[in-house]
Amino acid sequence: MGRPRTPLLDRRRIGAAALRLADEQGTLTIPALARSLGVAPSALYHHVSGRDEIISLMREELVLATGGDKDWQQPWEQGLEDWARTYLSAFAAHPGAVPLLATAPLGEPFMHTMYEKVAELLVTGGFATDQVLPVITALESFVLGSALDLVAPSVMLSAVARDSAPHLSAALDHTPADTSRAAQAFDIGLRALLTGFRDLLDH
């Protein structure tokens, strides 16, 4: 057919380039993406309908790059914890792109394979059918929010006025000022969610 074996442009290449660009520049425009791929903007539109679809491709790239080799045969608590940590790590690897990516992706078809695995994990673990999606969604919301927190500037936390906010000041004195603050919050929240989900099972 005269088509090159390795096409200059395909959807995965577009997703990967967009992820790299957004990560480096914290923003994404079609002209900049076209430039980074060495093509004209019009060439991009042969493959994607627009910016929303590019962001969807970035998310797909993120999921594909990290979710492939997970052990789904573990007990549900371990499996759910692994999923949440891998998911957060994927975001953390592209901090500049997080604000673009951190919208709820539940509806995107390429996520279905992953959700199916998590759903099976929960059903096997004993969750009722009507609990499965709320549990997945709640955990995913926590991961997305934590990803946003992970990339948030923490610089102004030190500006808390001791007189007007004594409890907050004391809490800050006992909290690390670097990125381990976000990691600590994620650990406590994830642990709490798993404990709470376990409690759902037991009642």
Of residues 96-135, which lie at the interface with a copy of itself (CB under 8 A)?
A: 99, 102-109, 112-113, 115-116, 119-120, 123, 129-135
Asked if 87 interacts with a copy of itself (CB under 8 A), we say no
Asked if 186 interacts with a copy of itself (CB under 8 A), we say yes
Q: Report the nearest approach of a copy of itself to the CB of residue 124 (Å).
A: 9
Sign of the torsion angle spanned by Cα atoms 158, 159, 162, 167: negative
Query: Per-residue contact track with a copy of itself, 25 to 64, x per CB under 8 A?
Result: ----------------------------------------
Burial class (CB in 10 A: 0-12, 13-18, 19+), 36: middle
Residue 51 and residue 67: Cα distance in Å, rounded? Answer: 24
Q: Which two tokens stand for residue 42?
A: 């019009």
Which of 38/72 has CB closer to a copy of itself? 72
Asked if 172 interacts with a copy of itself (CB under 8 A), we say yes
Q: Rg of the chain's alpha carbons, rounded to an integer? A: 20
Number of residues counted as binding a copy of itself (CB under 8 A): 73
Q: Report the nearest approach of a copy of itself to the CB of residue 182 (Å).
A: 7
Q: Could you report how far apart the first and last alpha carbons of the chain are, in Å?
A: 62
Which of 57/143 has CB closer to a copy of itself? 143
Nearest to 140 by CA among 181, 101, 109, 96: 101
